Structure formats: C-alpha cells, structure tokens
Amino acid sequence: MTSPAREYTSVVRVSGPLMVVSGVGDAAYGEVVEVRLPDGEKRLGQVLESRTDIAVIQVFGGTQDLDTDITSVRFTGEPLRMVVSPEILGRIFDGSAAPADGGGAVIPGKIMDISGSPINPTARAFPEDCIETGISAIDGMNTLVRGQKLPIFSGAGLPHSSLAAQIARQARVLRDHEEFAIVFGAMGITNEEARFFLNEFEETGALGHAVVFINRADDPAIERIITPRLALTAAEYLAFDLGMHVLVILQDITAYCEALREVSAARDEVPARRGYPGYMYTDLASIFERAGRIHGRNGSITQLPIISMPDDDITHPVPDLTGYITEGQIVLSRDLHRKGIYPPIDVLPSLSRLMSGGIGEGKTREDHGGVSDQLYAAYAKGRRLESLVTVIGEEGLSESDRRYLEFAARFETTFTGQGAAGGRTVDETLDAAWDLLRLFPAEDLNRIDTALIEKYLRRESP
Amino acid sequence: MRGALMYELVHAGTDALIGEIIGLAKDVATIQVYEDTTGIAPGEPVERTGAPLSVELGPGLLGTVYDGIQRPLEVIRNEMGDFIIRGASLPALDREKKYAFTPVAEPDEKAVPGTVIGTVSEGRFVHRILVPHGIEGAFTSVAGTGKYSITDEIAGVLTAGGNEVPVTMIRRWPVRVARPFAEKLKPEDPLITGQRIIDSFFPIVKGGTAAVPGPFGAGKTVVQHQLAKWSDADIIVYVGCGERGNELADVLRQFPALTDPRSGTPLMDRTVLIGNTSNMPVAAREASVYTGITIAEYYRDMGYDVALMADSTSRWAEAMREISGRLEEMPGEHGYPAYLASRLAGFYERAGKVRVRGPSGSKGSVSVIGAVSPPGGDFSEPVTQNTLRVVRVFWALDADLAHARHFPAINWLSSYSLYPDDVQEWWRDHVGEEWSAMRRTMLTILQKESELEEIVHLVGQDVLPEDDKLSLHVAEIIRESFLIQSAFDSVDTFCPPEKQYHMMRLITDYAGYGKEAIGKGKSVADIASLPVANRLARLGSVANDTFTEYFEETEREMASAFGQNTGGRT
C-alpha cells in the first residue's frame, strides 16, 4: 500500500459506526483514514469495503457529530500502524495508542502494522516452560506454560481482575531469571477496574516493565476493535525484537466481540449465533494466535485473556469460540465464590492443553502428572456423590464413598481455596495434594505410578 | 472478466495474490483470495491462469509441511522469515532434487492411465510413477536406471491420436475433483489404531469414514494425533484446518522423534502435514481439506492404505459460511450455505477402498477421520448432523468424561460403529475367536451400568441385588482399566490388538467367575477384596513385549483365587 494521501469531503451516508464516502476510486481495503469533523476534531478510521465509486469506513472514535457537508476524509494510503520503541515500557496509552499518562508521544524506534502477520507454524517452538503462578488450582492441575494462551472464563461480580493481577504479580519461571514484561490491554472496562489495575501495577512496581492500553467503558466502542491489536503489536515488539518474556492480559474479550457485532450489524451481514458475525472465530484467532514462541528467538508471548460469560453461560458464542482457539481455560465458579473460596477456580471444566509438555521430571516434579489426574478423578467422583447425597442422604453411601465426599470438601477449602495472600511453590502445591490424597488407601490411587505412591504417600509434608 | 472459468485460478492485484473464481455473472467474476487482501484497491489488475486450483503430485510430498494451498511452509520460512508474508509463490515440490529411478515399463509396451512406468524410493516407500490421467497409447521410450529430477522426461508415450507425449515424475491435479479409480471395493480390514475403545468397541476400517465431534477440551485433537501416530495405515495425511499453531508445532516436535512401531522409522517419514492455522487466510482453509484428500488419493493410486485426519471440519464449514456470507448467498441453517450437506458428503465420499486404475489391479484405500467442533458442544447443529449422515463411525466425545480426566473421552453409550460385523473375521483370523462375544459382553455390562445408575441415584446402592452390584463393579473395571488409556504414557499410548484381546479376556473372565461366585452365595464385597482384583487395575501399562506372561499369571491367579475363596468354577 503505497498510494499517496487523498482528501475527500463527499461523505454520503453515516450509519452507526460506519460512514460511506463516494467518488473514491482507489481506496485500498484496510487503508487508514483520518476523519476531520466540522469542529476540527480528528478521528481515526479504516476502510472496510472499497468499490469503484464508494468506500465504507469504520470510524474508531465513533460517528457522533459527523455531518455530510463539512466533514472531510483523508485517505492516508497506509495500513494501521503503530510506533514502538523500548521506551513504551512504563507508559499508559488510551485505546488507540495516544498517550494517556500526560507524557509525550513515543519517539519512533520502529513502525509496525498492528494486524501483525501469522507466525509460520514451522517456526513455532512448542511451549514447554512451566510458569509458576503460585496458585495451586493452576500450577497443580492446569499448568500455564510460556507461549500459551489461557483465558479466564468469568462472570459479572467474580474476582477475575484480582486473579489476573495476582498472576501478573507472582508469575515466575522455574530456575530462570530472564527479562519479563506485562502488556495490559483493556477493552470497555470500568474506571474502577482500570484504577485497580493501575494501582496494582504501581504498588508492586510492575508499572516500570508494563505497557498499558486502556479503552474505558465510556470510550468509543469501535475503538475496542484496535485496542487488543495495539497491545499485541507492543507485545510482539517486546518479545521478538527485544527478547523479553511478555505476559499479555486482555480484558474484556466479550466487550471486544460486542464491538465486532456492532460493526457487523451496521453492515447488514448475515449473523451466525446471537447476532455475532460468522467470521468471529477467525477474528478472535487473529488475536489469540499471536501468542507463542519462535525457534531461535529469546522472547515469548503468553496471553491471559479475560472473558466474562453473560449469565455464566459457557456455551455463549464468545467463551465457546474462545475455548476452541485457546489452549485451555480457567473457569471461575459462582458457587465456590459464594462459599467464600478464593480463588474460586472450578477445576473440572478448567483445562490447560499444554500442561503435559511443561511438567514432570526435570521440569516440575516426577509425580505432577499422576497427582493431577488423581485429584481430578477423585474430585469429580466426590462432586458426583455430593449431588447423590442430596437425594439419598449420606447413610446410603459406603465408607469409601464417604471418603470421596470428605476429599471434595477439603479439596475446595484447602487446595483450591488457598486465600489471596501469597502463593505456593509448585512443590508446596504438590505436597498439599498428597496431604489430601492420604485420605485414601493406596490401592484407590490408580492414576499414579505405584513407585511414586511408595515414595510420596508415606512422606510427611514438611 | 468475460471468458473466465468457474474455479479458475487467478493472480489478483499488484502483489499477484493467489485467488480462485467462485462466482461468475456476465463479465463480473467473484474471486476468493487465498491471502490477506489488505491494500488491494479497485483498478488493480487480475491475471487469469487458465487452470483450476491444483496440487503438485510427485516424489517429495512425504515429510513435508504445506499450507492450505500446498505452499511449502519450511521453504517459505527459510526464504521469508518466521512470519508469513503474503504473495509467496513457491513450488510445492523440489525441482532440483534427484531421485534414483528404476524403470518398470518397457518401450512398445501398452501405456494406459495407471500403468507403472518405474519407481523411485521416497524414504522407505516405493513411490510408483504411473501413467497420468488422459494419456493412453504405447511407450516409445522409458528412461534407464539413473538419477532424475521430477521435471526430467522419464518416458514418452505415443497416443492413439499420433502425438508423442513426454512424461515426467510431476503431476498436477485439480483439488476439487476426485481422482479416478477402477472400482470401489467393500472395506473389511480394520484400521488398527492401538486405541482400545476404538479398535475393540467402535472400530474403523481401512477405507472407512469416522467423525469425532466434541466440545472444546474433550480431546478431539489428542484423538486425531493418536490416530496419526499409531494407526496402521501406510501413509498419513494430517490436515490442521483452522486450528492452533502450537498444535502443529507439537506434531512437528513429536513426529520426527517418534518411531513407527511397525517399520521402526520416524513417523514423520510417512506423514504429509497440511497446516492452515486459524489465523491464516480463511479461503486457504476452505481449500486445505481438498488439498489433503487429493494427496491422499495420489498415494492410494499407488496401492497404499492412506489415512487422512481433518482437524477440524467445522472450521472448514465455517470458512464456507464466511465466504458464502460475503457472496450474500441465501443462508441455510445457522447461516451455513445451503450446499453445506452436499460439500460434506462429497468430501467423505472420496474415502474408500478401491481397485486402482491400470493393469496392476492393486488395491488402495483412503480412510477419513474428521473432527467436528460443535458450538457449545451441541450435536444437533448442522455440521455434526450433516456429517453423521455420511460417516459410518461416530466417536462422541463427552465433556463430563473429560472433566473427570477419563481419556480418551469417547462416550461408550452414544458412540457407534457400523463396521464390527465387517471386521470380526479379521479379528478371528489374526487375533482370537472370541472378540465379538467379549465385545458384546462388555458393552452389555456398560449398558446395564447406565440403567442401574438411575436406580442408584434414587435409592442408593445398598438395595441392589448382588448380581447388579457385580455389574457395577465390573463396569468400573472396564472403564478404569480398559477404556481409560493414557496418550502420554510411553507404553499405554499404543495397545496392540493382541494385548487388547487379552485384556478383554481377563475382564470378561473375571465377570464370569464373579457371577458364579455370587450364585454360590458370595457377595460383591468378597470378590472385590480379592487381591487379584487389584491386578486388573493397571493392565494398560504392562509392557507390550511381556504382557502375555503377566496376563497368563493373572489368569492363573484368578482361577485359583476364585477356586479357593469362593468355591471355584465348576
């Protein structure tokens, strides 16, 4: 895309987030435009559709106050790009990358296309370095690894923000002290949530190695379409140009998808489920697939997107499509939250697909895989029995069944519900698991290697 | 664009992006472009190629990783770096590499499509160079033994029309057209996958079709990977269609390192990978399954058994939906185009066991295993339903099983296979007489368990008669030690058919002994407390080369335990 800038005042239609400009013969698909309002304000837009006579443009700053007489549109001839340099660390930007911390513009080091390019699958290095988050339900049973994309599925009123902030604070890679950075991309979050994260970063000193992009709930909705791309472009620069290990927190993907739906509806597209566009899977993939590691490069991008499930419904299109793209999910449960358990992670629907590559002998501990499987099997059985007990009462259960019931209860209060203060090392997490597994006779532990049962079951926890 | 042909390949824009004509209306052609179209503006040129979207076929396919339109990803990486930049146009097959050619045909011999001209070796495989489609006549020349590149002439054929046609080792074939064969045959040999619930309960045959639907996290991809690793097909074509980049990285990390249990060579040597991840262009995703199956048919035509895994056909269907939406076609169910059903059927119908064309009369097969990703895990959606109408095996993945880490999470009650009757002869001839009977016994026990569970939920287990309690006890053993199979355990990941058979025998014998003991007044608690019951718990991880000994010993122990403690078997 190298055509020169052209300027038009021929806006013929404004509708929702879109505007149509006529008489444009050569607008390129994806070209950036600058919209100048009657009062002189400038807004950013992008060409969504280009025909021989008209161009359809989505206006990121919203179409409020646009008119069809005076408003002028400058076609820049460029795709959407952003300026990056090492000094973006420690900076706070708004949802379209303008400084929001009172600082000046970023002095250009490199200019990058914000849509990025797909990583060649043959260049990808398989993620297998365990990240210790200090949270037992994650480290023990849904281990996060560098280069993974592991979303948090949450609901309104659940403590996903605290959990994400806690992970950002505590995350470390075992036996490693490499440079790391945090990129926070906020789409449609409230002022309070934004303040929570900023305070958190400031108090823990994380802000110095963080880059923050904030689109607040009262900022233009369409801007949310570019915010995650800006965040990931910054992350790619830090990871693959500067060799840092980057943790990207994106909140809230549901708000992003709603912006996508708004544009799609304005274009009269045939919707798929619940009015969301048919291409939402592909669109979300273009965000989530930007996590990863590359052979021969030092850095990595680990994504921790937060998805709020409307009505806690995991089959809603946003969590559903997300789950098909990401490498697992951490699911928060309202029931556990009500019981006062923190973090309220429901391990049963939670999953880390990359766990098996990141754990075991030489990485975490030899018994990790077996212990995790055993905890899952026993907890699933305990939960099944819990629902049974409500019908037939505890008397109807065998002694063995009662052990599973007790296990499930203790698992929730002591293993999952470790409290907000501090974290556990992976060793401490696994030892806590063995403490629970001691409830059972050794022959019940059929998911763990017999030699490891010998070794760990009798060992008292330190 | 007057004169342009439907499905013709074009180069669009100043960057010459590869595209395909998918709609014609007078002089307007609609083109789907296989790359990101950012930056294309009205007025840019479009160049026709005159040919439909085709793949290159010839030696050098095995062990290679391609994108959805058969561009070699490793070569692209070497030339363009770690990120995929658009506009890459690189040949799929290496033009420079020389292959040692051994002639088979002789001058003056008759040449028809399918006649073997000669062979080259591709790793451990004999790659047969056949007379291509559309050429019939007599050989005027056949190259001698020697090293040739794929574009060198290796034979000449004088056709009936009097033309002398040079033949090389490279072929092109339009991906949307099924390659011809002489005759479809009834498939009856099982595709042995080393996965117990598949081979023993819901088998697939060489040349058969199967679907693996399941919600996210239920293990579709692990099942597909396991089949790609351990099934006894000669050649594997793995299509990663709109899925995760890290999954392909996983295959690329594991396959070169893993050895094929039958040949002892790296698994990668028998594999062709088509990787069009979810963030790569949608149109190429739509093409990727066709690219894959055309390559599969090419090896089938040499007489090989090929298995194709497509993960996931739902992403392919969504690509169709996306393109259909852009064309503003009238949508069918859930926004999918009305032709979804016929496209799915057309794809699965390219599977099958065939007698290939040509005088060799050899047989080859293509088996197709498609993953389906139903939104919300709801199997009533159009892709799952239209797939079920054409496939003969259904492995239903179940979220509850996956949550309890029961893997593979194939639900034994809702899954089915239409092939057990076809393959029982194979089991009888190659493994043992009782496969069918034991299979039925075990499935009946599991069915009984699910019925009893409803009662247990209402009134508890205590009130059940002892023989029902025994069914529950045996069903648990079947689930825990037979159906659960760890893909990550170095032994259990592949379970040979003989071992599966022995495991079935131990479990059914145990059930039989138990029943007799109960008839003699013993309780299930007595039976479950026998030490031999514990020996059944870890059968899967008994080493594959010593299991016979271990199993025979268990069998003896079982006989004596029941003999001594429960009054014996009469």
- The mean predicted confidence, pLDDT, of chain A is 91
| Number of domains chain B contains | 3
**Domain-terminating residue out of B384, B416, B448:** B416
CB contact under 8 A, B242 and A398: no
Compute how many other C-beta atoms are within 10 angstroms of the C-beta atom of residue A4. Answer: 7
**Alpha-carbon distance B377 to nearest alpha carbon in chain A (angstroms):** 8
Residue A8, burial from CB neighbour count under 10 angstroms (0-12, 13-18, 19+): middle
DSSP codes, B471-496: HHHHHHHIIIIII---TTSTTTTS--
Residues 6+ apart with CB under 8 A from B519: none
Tens-digit pLDDT profile for residues A118-128: 999 999 999 99
Q: What pLDDT is stored for residue A3 in this prediction?
A: 65
C-alpha distances out from residue A36 to A67, A70, B290, B428, B538, Å: 10, 9, 48, 80, 72
Of B83, B321, B537, the CB nearest to A119: B83
Question: What are the helix and strand counts (H, E) for chain B?
Answer: 16, 24
Q: By the CB < 8 Å criterion, does B50 face chain A?
A: no
Predicted local confidence at residue A177, as pLDDT? 67
* Lowest-confidence segment of A26-30, A112-116, B52-56 by average pLDDT: A26-30
Residue A203, φ and ψ in degrees, nearest 5? -65, -40
Residue B14: inside a domain: no
Contact between A79 and B39 using a beta-carbon 8 Å cutoff: yes
Asked if the structure places residue B22 within a domain, the reply is no
**Does residue B407 sit in the same domain as residue B461?**
no
Euclidean distance between CA atoms B333 and B341, whole angstroms: 11
- Taking only residues 186 to 245 of chain B, the set having a beta carbon closer than 8 angstroms to any beta carbon of chain A reads 215-217, 240, 242, 244-245
Range of the domain at B156: 99-169
**The domain spanning residue B551 has which CATH number?**
1.10.1140.10
Q: DSSP for A65-103?
A: T--SSS-EEEE-SS--EEEE-GGGTT-EEETTS-B-SS-
Same domain, B251 and B366: yes
Instruction: Tell me the average pLDDT across A32-48.
Output: 92
Residue B538 has a pLDDT of 82
Three-class secondary structure assignment of B145-206: CEEEECCCCCEEEEECCCCEEEECCCEEEECCCCCCCCEEECCCCECCCCCHHHHHHCCCEC
In the three-class reduction of DSSP (H, G, I as helix; E, B as strand; rest coil), residue A171 is classed as coil
Is B325 within 8 Å of chain A by CB? yes
Tokens at B319, concatenated: 């690509």
CB B313 within 8 A of CB B370: yes
> Which residues 425-484 of chain B have a CB within 8 Å of chain A?
456-462, 480-481
Query: And the tokens for A54?
Result: 């008209």
Q: Do B241 and B316 have their domain in common? A: yes
The beta-carbon neighbor of A392 closest among B244, B315, B459 is B459
- Closest residue in chain A to residue B453, using alpha carbons only: A388
Instruction: Say how far apart CA B102 and CA B120 lie, in whole Å.
Output: 6
Which residues in chain A are contacts of B216 at CB distance < 8 A?
Answer: 320, 323-324, 329
Distance from C-alpha of B350 to C-alpha of B368, rounded to nearest angstrom = 9
CA distance B487 to A143: 18
Q: Residue A313: is its pLDDT beyond 90? A: yes
CB B196 within 8 A of CB B84: no
Spatial separation of the C-alpha atoms in residues A189 and A460, rounded to whole Å = 46
Mean per-residue pLDDT, A26-41: 91
Taking Cα atoms as reference points, which of B358, B336, B339 lies closest to residue B347? B339
Assess whether B123 and B161 both reside in one domain. Answer: yes
CA–CA dist B19, B36 (Å, integer): 11
- Burial label for B42, CB within 10 Å (0-12, 13-18, 19+), is middle
pLDDT tens per residue, range A286-306: 999 999 999 999 899 999 999
In this prediction, residues A442-457 reach a mean pLDDT of 90
Q: Which residue of B has its CA nearest to A121?
A: B245
Domain check: are B224 and B262 in the same one?
yes
Q: Are residues B475 and B533 in the same domain?
A: yes
- Residue A1's pLDDT is what? 52
Q: Which of B278, B328, B537 is closest, CB to CB, to A289?
A: B278
**Ramachandran angles phi, psi of A63, nearest 5°:** -105, 10
Chain B residues within 8 A of A28 when measuring between CB atoms: 38-41
Domain boundary at B108, B135, B169, which?
Answer: B169
- B148 and B206 share a domain? no
- Residue B251's alpha-carbon distances to A122, A143, B262, B282, B391, in angstroms, are 10, 20, 19, 22, 26
Encode chain B (570 residues) as per-residue pLDDT tens digits.
778 888 899 999 888 888 889 888 888 898 988 888 888 888 889 999 988 999 999 999 999 999 999 999 999 999 999 998 887 788 999 999 999 999 999 999 999 999 999 999 999 999 999 999 999 999 999 999 999 999 999 999 999 888 999 999 999 999 999 999 999 999 999 999 999 999 999 999 999 999 999 998 899 999 999 999 999 999 999 999 988 999 999 999 999 999 888 888 999 999 999 999 998 888 889 999 999 999 999 999 999 999 999 998 999 998 898 888 878 888 888 889 999 999 999 999 999 999 999 998 999 999 999 999 998 889 999 999 999 999 999 999 999 999 888 999 999 999 999 999 999 999 999 999 999 999 999 999 999 999 999 888 888 788 899 999 999 999 999 999 999 999 988 899 999 999 999 999 999 999 999 999 999 999 999 898 888 888 888 888 889 888 999 999 999 999 998 886 544 443
Whether pLDDT at A458 is above 80: no
State whether B246 and A122 contact (CB < 8 Å).
Answer: no
Preceding omega of B408 cis (within 30 degrees of 0)? yes
For B235-386, strand residue ranges (E) read 235-241, 271-276, 305-311, 352-355, 363-372
Minimal Cβ distance to B42: which of A26, A122, A329: A26
Nearest CB to A271; choose among B43, B249, B335: B335
> Token pair for residue B329?
């076609």
Residues B314 and B308: their CA atoms lie apart, in Å, by 16
A391 vs B76, B240, B457: nearest CB: B457
Q: Do residues B542 and B481 make contact, with C-beta atoms less than 8 angstroms apart?
A: no
Phi, psi of A131 (to 5 degrees): -100, 125
Q: How many CB atoms lie within 10 A of CB A339?
A: 13
Q: Are residues B476 and B508 in the same domain?
A: yes
CB pair distance less than 8 Å for B74 and A125: no
Q: Per the domain annotation, does B300 fall within a domain? A: yes
Q: Which of B356, B389, B416 is the last residue of a domain?
A: B416
**CA–CA dist A238, B367 (Å, integer):** 45
- Could you tell me which of B122, B72, B370 has the C-alpha nearest to residue B239? B370
Model pLDDT, residue A175: 61
Residues of B in contact with A351 (CB under 8 A): 217, 402
Here the tokens at position A413 are: 């209060």
Q: Find all residues with CB under 8 Å of B106, minimum gap 6, and list them.
A: B139, B142
Nearest CA in chain B to A127: B246
Residue B545 maps to a domain = yes
One domain, residues B399 and B447: no
User: Looking at the structure, do residues B237 and B133 belong to the same domain, yes or no?
Assistant: no
Q: Cβ A117–B278 below 8 Å, yes or no?
A: no
My answer on whether B343 and B381 are in the same domain is yes
CA distance B121 to chain A (A): 25
B491 touches chain A (CB under 8 A): no
Q: How far apart are CA A124 and CA B231, in angstroms?
A: 26
In chain B the first and final C-alpha atoms are separated, in Å, by 85
Residues B279 and B411 in one domain: yes
